[in-house]
Structure 1
Amino acid sequence: MEAAELKDEVQGNGIAEKPDLIDLRDTGRFLATLEALNCSLALSRRPSGVALLGVDKGVPTLSACMLPRSMGLAVEGDRLAIATHREVIVFANAKAIAQQYPARPNHYDGVFVPRVAHFTGNCDLHDMALDGPRVIAVNTRFSCLCVIDGFFNFTPFWRPPFLTDFTGDDRCHLNGMAFHDRKASFATALGHTNTSYGWREGMADGGIVMEVPSGRIVASGLSMPHSPRVIDGQLYVLEGGRGHVLQIDTTTGTKRVVAELPGFTHGLAVYGGVLFVGLSKLRMKRGPQGLPIESRGELVAGVAAIELASGQVLGILEFYNGVEEIFDVQVLPNVRRAEILAPHQWFETPSIETVHGGMWELRDDEGDNA
């Protein structure tokens, strides 16, 4: 696969960098699978930013914008929520006017533009879900599940029952939430700990899955679990420290390895009978952490496609440069060629859309002088 252009913009000074060449390699049938499903993927990535990945006539389409410390993602209908360092930004697909986007007419079938920003402060938001006008999020710094709706920075509604204080010191690294039938049903944490950053001491095998709201521990002894999801009535969890996709029996806690992958697993979405799993290289700035996956040699950053029914790995799209981690993955149905505009980009090319239609505005730097 030839290198694809990943278009990033620099925040702060408003100056656009030249497009970077990102070397994408499809090790199987990943791109063919994505194209057959007629969807794109939203990927939050590190060093930073969000990329929209699609396939059109066999060729990958990749668009990105820089957002500070982009983390959790959520999709509902035509809306995409993105957690950044101190805010959650809700974007909407202005699909009715996407073909008229001035920078590239008659090309995009989706242009995601910012609509709402919630200023949360530094909460280290991981898994999220959109529930109508509300954002439901895992607030890792404050060890709670919370609602973000504009009344407060956030409103906690559930904490693991073993926590004794409401503090902002990441006591158990609560990170994952299965939001199913419009309610949170399961949550993951890296430790059953009640001290400031206590989970770091045993993160190689101290991870747990809890039932919500009871707090019952469904499974333990996990190596850095993330991204719990209820799919067809079954609980799936990513075990990052082993590179596993697990299915867990919620009654007995029995774990079944669905797939073993060549990266730290983080970010899980399902669509059309296919699991999409984010893969990352390990952060080695603190040195080895004693994770089982550390003995497996060089890991990859990318996304895997797995057939849900069989566990067969259909393909892995590897990022050979420019991306070290995939933090979260969400599916954008019925979109192949998408653009996303960070707030400062939208200010340069603003749009107006209502139920009666929409338009792209030509910016008037002088303002109204009528």
Structure 2
Amino acid sequence: MKQTDEDKAADTPARGTDGASAVSGIDEPFIHLRDTGRFLDVLASLKCSLALSRRPSGVALLGVDNGVPTLSACLLPRSMGMTVSGNRLAVATIHELMIFANVSNLAPLYPARPNHYDAVFVPRVSYYTGDLDLHDMVFDRHIVLAVNTRYSCISVIDGYFNFTPIWQPPFVTDFGPDDRCHLNGMAFHDGKVRYATALGETSTPFGWRKQMATGGIVMEVPSGRIVASGLSMPHSPRLIGGRLFVLEGGRGHVLEIDAASGAKRVVAALPGFTHGLAEYGGVLFVGLSRLRDKRGPQGLPIESESTSLVAGVAALDARTGEVLGTLQFENGVDEVFDVQVMPNILRGEILSPWQWAETPSIATMKGGFWQQRPREEDEPAS
């Protein structure tokens, strides 16, 4: 994206109780952000924050307070898909699905920074799933539905089993941890999964890799009917205002797809591998990533633009596709894996289980408090 004189740069501390360099995953004390356009103005006008699952690894909460970006982050082991519902945030990691709760009434009392935060997300439940490679997720009342990429299915995760498969593409003829089609996205609407994306129509272990550049598909659920094909690494299908949006990562595109005819229309072309899509207040927030150098050339159309790709988030007008602005991470973040909107939060914090253990929040029906460890000199003599 061409930068203009209106571009704004900000050096924003990556706040976290385990230190800025550890939070960012690098040895630099600050994460440098660049707003190309009106991204921060749009986020501020919507009075919301974004939760970002990012690489190297971890979750960041991004907001705007009095025109200044706020960024809080925590390290988690290979963070992937996320979902938000009310005061709950679910995050998939390498072997667990963690659920965080916002202790909003305790947030202003957080001892590390009193009278600042309007939300603090703390770990509350952890499901030990094993390595499922979870992508898109959604809260469905009291359970979590997740796209279980490793086992080529959509699963329920509720603690009774490691997972319970409820749907898989009809062309997948076996069941096991061999990622047969790289099922990765689902569009959940009105209490049902309506569409799903995969990187290939294959039923051999890791067979999708041979056609990943152009073999992507969008399927109807539960029928399995293929709605669209020939896509380059599709992700993040979403039904928004009756329209089916899909991200085509291998081309850096946001697509609108006609579910009846399969016709594809490019809504926007963006300067990054597109992965992670959320809508709020008529604005589409799209995750952007640089390509993974360790994989080498994959034949993706976007590889010809690899030197100009960025990691960040783009804001688009959902009606017209106009790019309202892009917030770029100039260091500390290589990929944005997922994007979720957190309404009515401006200054959020998220604590990893290790951070929370240092200063636990205790929330009950009768109230709550932050439990600080006593100093050694304060302990009674024995």
Does residue 119 in structure 1 map to residue 128 in structure 2?
Answer: yes
Report the counterpart of residue 181 of structure 2 in structure 1. 172
TM-score norm. by structure 1 comes to: 0.95
Identity of paired residues, percent? 67
Shift of 1:172: 0.3
Does residue 348 in structure 1 map to residue 348 in structure 2?
Answer: no
TM-score norm. by structure 2 comes to: 0.93
Cα pair 1:177 1:228 within 8 Å, conserved: yes
Which portions of structure 1, spanning 4 or more consecutive aligned residues, are displaced by more than 4 angstroms?
8-11, 14-19, 364-369
Structure 1 distance, partners of 2:17, 2:80, is 18
Paired residues for 1:301-312 under 5 Å: 301-312=311-322
Give the one of 238, 242, 253 matched to 1:244.
253
Structure 2 distance, partners of 1:356, 1:287, is 56
| SS class of match (1:279) | strand
Give the one of 80, 83, 86 matched to 1:77.
86
| SS class of match (2:338) | strand
Cα pair 1:350 1:363 within 8 Å, conserved: no
| Unmatched segments (≥5 aa) in structure 1 | none
Report the counterpart of residue 371 of structure 2 in structure 1. 361
Q: Deviations over 1:270-311 (max 9, x none)?
A: 000000000000112121111111112421100000011111
Paired residues for 1:287-298 under 5 Å: 287-298=296-307
Give the one of 323, 335, 338 matched to 1:325.
335
Structure 2 distance, partners of 1:260, 1:116, is 39
Shift of 1:182: 1.6
Structure 2 distance, partners of 1:335, 1:96, is 13
Report the counterpart of residue 291 of structure 2 in structure 1. 282
Report the counterpart of residue 211 of structure 1 in structure 2. 220
Evaluate the alpha carbon distance shift between residue 19 and residue 332 of structure 1 in structure 2; reply closer, same or farther with a 3 A threshold: farther
Q: Partner letter of residue 274 of structure 1? A: V
Report the counterpart of residue 188 of structure 1 in structure 2. 197
Paired residues for 1:129-148 under 5 Å: 129-148=138-157
| Unmatched segments (≥5 aa) in structure 2 | 1-8
Report the counterpart of residue 31 of structure 1 in structure 2. 40
Cα pair 1:72 1:82 within 8 Å, conserved: yes
Q: CA RMSD in A?
A: 2.1
Q: Partner letter of residue 15 of structure 2? A: K
Give the one of 1, 8, 13 matched to 1:5.
13
State which drifts further: 287-296 or 41-50. 287-296
Structure 1 distance, partners of 2:56, 2:97, is 18
Report the counterpart of residue 162 of structure 2 in structure 1. 153
Cα pair 2:58 2:75 within 8 Å, conserved: yes
Cα pair 1:127 1:138 within 8 Å, conserved: yes
Q: Partner letter of residue 219 of structure 2? A: M
Cα pair 1:171 1:196 within 8 Å, conserved: yes
| SS class of match (1:96) | coil
Q: Deviations over 1:90-138 (max 9, x none)?
A: 0011001110111111000000011110000000000000122211100
| SS class of match (1:241) | helix
Paired residues for 1:34-113 under 5 Å: 34-113=43-122
| SS class of match (1:35) | helix
| SS class of match (2:356) | helix
Shift of 1:362: 2.2
Structure 2 distance, partners of 1:365, 1:214, is 61
